[in-house]
Amino acid sequence: MEFEMHLSKAVVRTEHASRYLQQLCKHWSHKFSVDFDPLKGRVPFSETAEVTFAADDAALTMTLSVADSSQQERMQHVIDDHLKRFAFREELDIVWTN
């Protein structure tokens, strides 16, 4: 079955991108079949929603794809909340763009 995916992306400036990527992926690996290494990760939340992460020295790039655009904002909040929990030592600026 083919879904039209709605993409949104956030580039979060942080020197700890790889650490956060791994923490997020490990956290969600208890529920989902997560695939990750220190520089990239993928979390398939469902057949119609997934997030990918890419880390470098300056930023964590998060790309969310959802089939149902009504899911988009809720999923962004879920990802933001988890990232902020792991990054409590720093004030992250998370802005999603479509």
Average pLDDT per consecutive 10 residues, the chain (98 residues; last block may be shorter): 84 98 98 98 96 98 95 96 97 95
pLDDT of 4: 82
User: Is 62 exposed, middle or buried, given 0-12, 13-18 or 19+ CB atoms closer than 10 A?
Assistant: buried
Distance CA 73, CA 6 (A): 11
Q: Where are the domains of the chain?
A: 6-90
pLDDT of 2: 62
Assess if CATH 3.30.310.50 describes domain 6-90: yes
pLDDT of 13: 98
